[in-house]
Structure 1
Amino acid sequence: MTTGSVSPRRADTRRNNERILAAALESLAGGDELSYNAIARKAGVGVGTVYRHFPTPEALVLAVYRREVRHLVEAVPDLLAEHPPERAFRTWTSHLASYMMTKRGLADALSTATATADEDLAAGTYEALLGAVTTLLAACVEAGAVRPGLDPSTVLLSLGGLVHLDPTGDWQRQTANFTDLLWRGLHG
């Protein structure tokens, strides 16, 4: 069944799309050039399939970025189902830091790609991450782990400090220290 003029994609098309995005992320995160031939080889598809899904390098970079943001946001319900709210918040913060540290190549490619991208990209990312933080904070407030009345946008702004971690240094320890400090502020 279709909705409007959009028909659902076939399962193999979705799998190919996901493999292409994963291969592109691996290339970008490793600082490699964005080579459609190399991505096709890594994804196990023909180069024509890569071009069919992503006609320009900018389209591919933006799709990888949106996928990664979606994964960060979609992790929240699973974390809350598996862990107490405080642990879920800390784990998600660690995921966010890991994303920032290991995706430097994506960030470089993204800055080039966004020169031609729609202006809603940053706003959409902000809203998605704000929703994730809002959900985590609500669970923490309900559990009595943090004080009520916290502004999720202020907490998200605080998490932006993770971008200053040194990816070649001990960023995991720094993330734990940062999270402890932030947590004390949320609890107080």
Structure 2
Amino acid sequence: MPDPSGRPVRADARANEDKLLAAAALAFTRDGAGATLKQIAKDAGVGIATLYRRFPTREQLVDATYRYETARLSARTSALLGELPADRALRAWMSQVLDYIATKHGMADTLKTLLQDDERLGSQTREQLTGAIEEFRVAGIGQGVIRPDVPSADILMSLAGVTLVAGAAPQRAQAERLLDLLMDGLTRPTGGTGLVRLRNGSERV
């Protein structure tokens, strides 16, 4: 995250910031709205003064954590596509989206206010996530495993629907099943045979 003053951020300050944001993401997931700045600083291995120097208010920390987690999620496409076929990579990424959503429950009220006050923040998030999905989609079309007729924006909306109705931790198993159904709909029919390749590599009509 750039320094608000526009000044370059020193390497040690950048390292502390990354530690704080990673600790904040974990704390908001683990402790929900009860996550304290003191505990976040402790988990990051820095003093509370360091936290306040970089993030003077809880709102600024929530904003930075949200941007940090969104950027991390969007950047995972290359690694997943390097390890898995595009359809399986997209499915694995969707599970990571559920983890990403879990972080947001702990900062929901503050985040809601931030998104209302800054419409660009929500737009930037949609652009980043749609861009990530497009990478999976293009790779999947090239590999013949993902349908070419479903836009990335539609996939994101479907994914958002799953997180909306089953995004809470106790509903994780249900959310994973819904993601499986979503992937079944995105799997590309193999040419002319009427068969669809399943996630386990088998085929069905």
User: What interval of TM-score do these two structures reach, taking the shorter chain for normalisation?
Assistant: 0.7 to 0.9
**1-structure distance, mates of 2:179, 2:115:** 30
Residues matched between the structures, number: 182
Deviation of 1:167 (Å): 2.5
State the match for 2:161 in structure 1: 161
State how far apart, in whole Å, the 1-side matches of 2:167 and 2:67 are.
24
Distance, in Å, in 2 between the alignment partners of 1:78 and 1:89 is 11
Q: Deviations over 1:10-69 (max 9, x none)?
A: 221111101111222232221253533332222222222111211221111010011111
Corresponding letter in the other structure for 2:125: T
Q: What's the CA shift for 1:83?
A: 0.8
C-alpha distance 32-10 of structure 1, shift in aligned 2 (>3 A): same
Change (3 A) 1:176 1:31: closer
Q: How does 1:130-141 map to 2 (within 5 A)?
A: 130-141=130-141
Query: Structure 2: which 5+ residue stretches go unaligned?
Result: 190-205
- Cα distance change on mapping 1:146 and 1:168 into 2, 3 Å: closer
Of structures 1 and 2, the one with the larger relative CO (CA 8 A, separation 6+) is 1
**Deviation of the 1:6 alpha carbon:** 5.4
The residue number in structure 1 matching 2:182 is 182
Q: In the alignment, what sits opposite 2:125? A: 125
Query: How far did residue 136 of structure 1 move?
Result: 0.7
TM-score, normalised via structure 1 length? 0.86
Structure-1 separation of matches of 2:175 and 2:76: 18
Identical residues among aligned pairs (%)? 39
Residue of structure 1 equivalent to 2:25: 25
Report the TM-score, using the length of structure 2 for normalisation.
0.79
Distance in 1 between the 2:103 and 2:156 partners?
20
Match of residue 150 from structure 2: 150
Contact between 2:137 and 2:152, CA under 8 Å: does it hold in 1?
yes
